[in-house]
């Protein structure tokens, strides 16, 4: 359901790994870690970077370049330098655009009952990937190709925004910002599938880090109150499926959700009980400001998540 302490578990397992791979989601994740008595908050960057491991952002992640660079700069200011030697980003990962953020807000406002998205454009970016409109990070290397693909994406985005009564997004300012960000992002790009295949063949230990909880899956989770990324590792691995033979799952006794309707949390508790669950759980707010919806632990949900996670 979320807030199980996935970041802590990844941090513990990362000590025995050679590289840690973030394989899904976007900067809607929030992992709070305490390493050496110091608190770190990560959204896109793999947790293993804090342990001196090679971090990989895989092809299943949608990358907001502005958010990524801001996180790299923030972590560097806190004492940990992130360089192309310590972080590799899949060159075929999807680029998240400002127009995706505009679409996210417009679509959420148009719903009869809000889902409660983070408003960071994650869902629309995955929609573009499925619709073959997505721009990949590798496209940042060629300004002509980037302009062509950005113009194609914006034709669709602006048509949807106009239908929802929202202003259009302009091409030139967006293109200029992307080209500026490309100078810093391009050195990190690698063919992640090749990097991880070679690491696996060399006997190196690879840890795959998920962004969201299993029951947030858009197909197997609490639909429609679920984010777009698929939490299951088999869906988005930037390596052969046999490269990850074991899975570790952590479960929280409370079911929590960022927002959404009444169906967002199975066995949703009443208002007084929800407040008590939130106090007892002592959840740490990192990414999301709105109050959490709380529910009780359910054995069927746990069994389904464990079976699906493998």
Does 64 carry a binding-site annotation?
no
Is 94 within any annotated ligand binding site? no
User: What is the C-alpha to C-alpha distance for residues 82 and 66, in angstroms, rounded to an integer?
Assistant: 15
4 is in an annotated binding site: yes
Residue 119 is labelled as binding a ligand: no
Is 190 marked as a binding-site residue? no
Q: Answer for the pair 99, 151: CB distance below 8 angstroms, yes or no.
A: no
Is 18 marked active-site? no
Tell me which residue of 298, 120, 308 sits closest to 230, measured CA to CA. 308
For 274-295, letters b (16+ CB in 10 Å) and e give: beebbeeeebeeeebeeebbbb
Query: Burial of 98 by CB count in 10 Å (0-12 exposed, 13-18 middle, 19+ buried)?
Result: middle
**110-118 — which CB contacts under 8 Å span 24+ positions?**
110/164, 113/261, 114/259, 114/260, 114/261, 115/224, 115/225, 115/259, 115/260, 115/261, 116/225, 116/257, 116/258, 116/259, 116/260, 116/261, 116/264, 116/290, 117/227, 118/28, 118/227, 118/258, 118/287, 118/288
Residues 10 and 48 sit within 8 Å (Cβ to Cβ): yes
Ligand-binding site membership of 125 (annotated)? no
Residue 8 in marked binding region: yes
Answer yes or no: is 292 a known binding residue.
yes
Please identify which of the residues 3, 64, 104, 217 carries the catalytic annotation: 3
Residue 241 labeled ligand binder = no
83 is in an annotated binding site: no
Q: Is 274 annotated as a binding residue?
A: no
Q: Where is 257: in which H helix or E strand?
A: strand 254-257
Distance between CA 46 and CA 278 in Å, rounded?
A: 27
For strands 38-42 and 31-35, give the pairing.
antiparallel
Distance separating alpha carbons of residues 109 and 96, to the nearest angstrom: 20
3 is catalytic: yes
Residue 32 marked as a ligand binder? yes
121 is in an annotated binding site: no
Please check if 5 is assigned to a binding site: yes
Active site residue: 11, 27, 31, 157, which one? 31
Residue numbers in the known binding site are 2-8, 28-32, 118, 132, 212, 292
Residue numbers in the known binding site for GTP are 2-8, 30-32, 292
Residue numbers in the known binding site for IMP are 3-6, 28-31, 118, 132, 212
User: Which residues are annotated as catalytic?
Assistant: 3, 31
Residue numbers in the known binding site for Mg(2+) are 3, 30
């Amino acid at each position: 359901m979320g807030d199980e302490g996935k970041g802590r578990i990844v941090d513990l397992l990362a000590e025995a790994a050679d590289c840690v791979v973030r394989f899904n989601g976007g900067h809607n994740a929030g992992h709070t870690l305490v390493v050496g008595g110091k608190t770190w908050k990560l959204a896109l960057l793999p947790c293993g970077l804090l342990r001196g491991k090679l971090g990989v952002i895989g092809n299943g992640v949608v990358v907001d370049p502005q958010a990524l660079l801001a996180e790299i700069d923030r972590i560097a200011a806190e004492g940990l330098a992130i360089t192309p030697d310590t972080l590799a980003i899949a060159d075929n990962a999807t680029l998240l655009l400002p127009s995706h953020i505009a679409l996210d807000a417009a679509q959420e406002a148009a719903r009869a009952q809000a889902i409660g998205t983070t408003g960071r454009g994650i869902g629309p970016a995955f929609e573009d990937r499925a619709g073959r409109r997505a721009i990949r990070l590798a496209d940042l290397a060629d300004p002509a190709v980037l302009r062509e693909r950005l113009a194609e994406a914006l034709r669709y985005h602006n048509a949807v925004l106009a239908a929802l009564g929202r202003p259009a997004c302009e091409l030139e300012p967006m293109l200029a910002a992307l080209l500026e960000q490309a100078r810093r992002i391009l050195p990190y790009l690698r063919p992640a599938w090749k990097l991880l295949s070679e690491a696996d063949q060399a006997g190196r230990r690879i840890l795959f880090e998920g962004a969201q909880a299993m029951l947030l899956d858009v197909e197997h989770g609490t639909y429609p109150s679920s984010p777009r990324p698929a939490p299951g590792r088999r869906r988005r691995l930037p390596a052969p499926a046999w490269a990850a033979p074991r899975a570790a799952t952590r479960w929280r006794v409370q079911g929590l959700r960022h927002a959404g309707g009444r169906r967002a949390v199975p066995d949703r508790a009443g208002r007084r009980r929800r407040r008590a669950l939130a106090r007892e759980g002592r959840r740490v707010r990192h990414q999301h400001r709105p109050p959490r919806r709380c529910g009780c632990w359910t054995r069927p949900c746990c069994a389904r998540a464990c079976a699906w996670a493998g």
